[in-house]
């Protein structure tokens, strides 16, 4: 039996492919030849296949009603076109269930609007695409908005659609996929493309850089 822990990603029609990409790829496989303590599983509103904005068809591993916080290490909520609509209310109820159980959630782009609708950002530091974007939800958390690429506060991670790398960095840190030294090298590699960071990453991984 595998001792991997599950990380779940909600998949909706029009899911923005790029937003969870860095995070889920490195959660599932931190680096070539480096095993992960986690596996990524997809969750749908129901069992139906969805089609991403990039035209990729995804058949969810499980449906929302099968998902329990006790079985998850983190729930990722990518952007999609429907977060302002009631059809996502069951996903927002599940997100609140996770938060209440002390299991972290991570939302990016349109999913932050969903969290605002659900009241989960009213008293937490957070970010999104723009303050005005969230104001359209009618939420009361404007004073806690930070103009940062990604923010974490009490188990709720939020990020702008333009910050998938920073989103991933906060998630990977939270899950301890990499040691701090390895994570710094990983982020440096993707932000600068300097080969020196690749060698630093390999060195950190070779010296126990993965939790």
Please identify every residue annotated as catalytic: 109
Contact at 8 Å (CB) between 81 and 110?
yes
CA angle 51, 52, 55 (to 5 degrees): 80
**∠150-185-33 over CA atoms, to 5°?**
105
Enter the tokens of residue 26: 């490195």
Using the 8-state DSSP alphabet, how is residue 211 labeled?
Answer: -
Alpha-helical regions (H) of 41-179? 89-101, 110-117, 131-135, 164-175
Per-position DSSP letters for 182-195, written without gaps between them: HHHHHHHHHHH--H
What DSSP element (H or E) covers 58?
strand 57-58
Closest CA relative to residue 107, chosen from 26, 179, 15: 15
Sheet containing strand 75-77, edge to edge, reads 62-63, 38-44, 5-10, 75-77, 105-108, 156-159, 150-153
């Amino acid at each position: 039996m595998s001792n991997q822990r599950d990380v779940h990603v909600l998949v909706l029609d029009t899911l923005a492919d790029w937003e969870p990409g860095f995070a889920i790829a490195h959660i599932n496989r931190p680096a070539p030849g480096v095993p992960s303590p986690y596996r990524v599983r997809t969750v749908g509103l129901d069992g139906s296949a969805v089609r991403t904005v990039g035209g990729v068809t995804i058949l969810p591993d499980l449906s929302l009603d099968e998902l329990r916080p006790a079985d998850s290490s983190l729930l990722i909520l990518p952007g999609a076109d429907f977060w302002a609509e009631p059809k996502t209310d069951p996903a927002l109820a599940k997100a609140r269930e996770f938060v209440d159980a002390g299991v972290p959630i991570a939302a990016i782009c349109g999913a932050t609007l969903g969290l605002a609708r659900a009241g989960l950002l009213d008293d937490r530091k957070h970010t999104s695409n723009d303050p005005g974007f969230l104001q359209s939800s009618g939420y009361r958390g404007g004073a806690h908005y930070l103009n940062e690429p990604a923010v974490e506060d009490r188990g709720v991670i939020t990020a702008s659609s333009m910050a998938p790398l920073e989103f991933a960095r906060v998630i990977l840190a939270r899950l301890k996929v990499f040691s701090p030294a390895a994570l710094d090298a990983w982020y440096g590699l993707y932000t600068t493309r300097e080969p020196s960071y690749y060698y630093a990453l390999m060195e950190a991984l070779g010296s126990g850089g993965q939790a």
